Each structure stands twice: as C-alpha cells, then as structure tokens.
Structure 1
Amino acid sequence: MTALEIAGLFVRYGGALAVDDIALSVPPGQVTALVGPNGAGKSSAVLATCGTVRSTGEVRLDGERVDGWSPGRRTRAGLALVPQGRQLFSRLTVRENLLIGADQLRLPARSVAAAEERFPILAERRSSLAGVLSGGEQQMLAVARALMGRPRALLLDELVTGLAPLIVQQLATTVRALADDGLAVLVAAPDLVGLRDVVDRGYVLVRGRVVAEVEGGHRPLQSAYERALGLAVG
C-alpha cells in the first residue's frame, strides 16, 4: 500500500490557482521528489497535504482519508512536515523546541533525548538558543522534531537549499536511511542538487500542474525536468 496518496488537489489564493488538480503517490521505503521552478506550487502542495493551507481534494494516509482533519490530527496520525523556513522558536533552546514538539505530539518528555541523539550536534547544543544555531543545525533540529512521533510519511520542503555541502551530504544520508527503514519520504525542491543520489522517483511540477511522473532515480527525473522547463519558458 502507498503510504501517502494525493488526488485531485487544488489550492487557490483568491483568484489565483496555485495547485491545479495534482495527484501524487509516495510509497514507503522510497524517496519521492517533487521538483519544479520557483512559483510552481510545490510548497502549496506540501502545505495543503498537511492541512496548513486551504485546499480541495483527497489526501490518504495508509488508505485512510485525512483531508478533512486538522493539521494537528494529521501530524499525530503520522504525517510529518519539515517546512521551508523551519519554523523554529528562535528564542527558545534546542531542548525547549523539542519539548514543544513532544507536547504537540502528546509524547512523554523522555522522547526528547532520542530526538537529540539523532544528530549528535543537537545533544551538544541542547542549551543553545535555536536562533544562534547555524542554518544546518537549525535544519537538523527541524528534522529531529518532525521525526519525534515516528511518522509514516515525511514531507521535506526545501531541505538542503542554501546549506553547506557537508551538511547537505549528512541530511541526504539521513533521508536515504529513513527511506531504507520503510518511511515514505517526499522531498519538494527547485532542483535535485544535493539529493540526486537518494531519489528513487519523482514528479515535475510546472505552473501548478504535474507535467511528468518518473520512476528510476534522478537521471530520468532530471531529464524530464529539463524538458519541462524548456516547455515552461517556450
């Protein structure tokens, strides 16, 4: 069974159509990429899946419809998000950010220790304010927080954009390991830089519509993306 399925998804902002009748499948044990140029609707699709922007369409998690659920209920059911911009509490410590995550997921406070251990630097910086962490450390904190509830599907929006190559490699390795452990992973990104070696399949999104669905890793997906961009600017 596909862990996450999306069908007939529409997102509108006023009179503007940001996501136009898209369908996505995110199987467990694989990394699925959603690639497209800036403004293509990737973030809108991800946020709609998690319920944080208004949308119409079906969202199913392990076969169960969740599109009528609140964002919190979707999260507790196993749909986790690392949003673009991370959305951390910059004036709270690493540990306090994780404690808030545990509280939202209704987890015991002891779950924070396991989250810190996922990235050893977080354990070292547990008393540091999130706002003084490097961009890579902040992204690790956002990923650790999202994984606290042992989700069934993980959505990553702009995971590695703007990060140092060493951090990109570490995050890519983490993503691959999570998928290999059976998690369904969706990565939304403007390109495949930094993630090409971990992607199993993907979709190309242009002007709010899926213009290609590709199996077989980053090479055919990259080719489809380049062809789609040629159409988009033509």
Structure 2
Amino acid sequence: MNSILITGCNRGLGLGLVKALNALPEPPQHLFTTCRNLEQATELKKLAKEHSNIHILEIDLRNFEEYDKLVGKISEVTKDAGLNVLFNNAGIAPKSVRFGATRQQDLIDTLQTNTVVPVMLAKACLPLLKRASEVNENVSLSVKRAAIINMSSILGSIQANTDGGLLPYRTSKSALNAATKSMSIDLAPQKILCVSLHPGWVRTDMGGNNAPLDVATSTEQIVKTICQLDESHNGGFYQYNGEQLPW
C-alpha cells in the first residue's frame, strides 16, 4: 500500500501497527498516525524522527469539525494518489463490567469513540479513498487499492456472547460491526474494501496484564492478515490471524 491512516497511535495496538508496518520489506510510503496529545506521544515521535514516512497528526477525534483539516493535511502529502487505507484503531473501554453498574455516560462516551468516530472519519476520508481506488483501477479489491479496516473485538460478537456484561464496550463494537457491513455494501461500487478485525486479547492498557498476546505478536499478524485481504473478505469479521468470526 502507498498510504495508510491509523488512529490512536500514541501507545498499544496503534503504536504496534506503526512498528509492524515499518518492518515490512516495503513499508507504506506515507504512514499517517493520529494522537490526542503530541507531548505524551514520546515513542511515536521518536519513530517519526527515525522514519521519514511517518506523519503525526494531533487531533481529538471527537472534535468532528477538525476532520476536514485532517483530510486536507493528508491530501497535501499524497497529492492525487488519495489514501489507500483508513485503519480505525482508536477506542476506549469503560471500567463498568456488570449490567447493574452500567452508567448512561459510559454508554454515550463509548459509542461516540468506538462507533460514531470510525463512521464519521470514514465518511470524511471517502474522497481520498475513492481517489486511491480510481488511481489503482487495475488493482483488485485489497489494501493496495482502497480499504477501511475497523478494529473491532470478539466482545462485539452477539453469537459468541455467553458471559453478558460489558454493555458499553460490547454494544459499541457490535454497532461498529454493523457499520462495517453496511459500508462494505455502500462502497462496493467504488471498489473500497471494508472489514472488521479482532486483535485478540492483547496485553495493553485496555486488555490488562493477564492477556495471552503481546502487542508485537498481534500487530505483526494483523499486518500479515490485512495484506492478504481480497474481495472474498469484504464485509467480513476476522481475527488477527485471518480466522473468520461469528457476528
């Protein structure tokens, strides 16, 4: 892929994706990364100094009015090539676990960050994605042409839910999966691939210390998986290693 935008790159999976992509034999020519606070993104800034293809964009993605400016900055760099991939990675998980402890504000905040933001950012980036698809009209449906990858979770699977609880997080990821499916249909005429991915249970601030996967293992597999996506995967829900998951 020539260019990719990844959200939430100051730590965890986002930062891991940046490292994994730059470890490829042919890294993306332009790797756009977002963070809410540039001062706190110490490791990301260090990577950007070492790799000229990394562009850091400071933005609070809940400020929807800033999206046009974000898209403008990307367009200035990619020119007429557009944007090959939007990877909606940024997300939150409130601490409330059981149904009785669910708070209204947790539901609102989690749905906004985990569902509304990815949908609205995809909408804002659509002209860039369309452009990339047009420029690469001879390339089959893949991340080399144009794609939207939404970082979901197995906890968003309705069929796999046997434990209950975690209502804000579960509902936000289920809604994101529904949005992914709809976008895959809506954007099929433009030849833009849309997929939901589950990163596995990973040792991050969100996943906790008991998780079996480390960030490097998960993100290396994710990069390998997205590079293998084709038309048969469009509108699907997959694990980091490419295994299909139930809705």
| TM-score category (smaller protein) | 0.3 to 0.5
Bigger relative contact order, structure 1 or 2 (CA pairs below 8 A, ≥6 apart): 1
Tell me the TM-score normalised to structure 2 length. 0.35
Q: As a proportion of its length, which structure holds more helix?
A: 2
Q: As a proportion of its length, which structure holds more strand?
A: 1
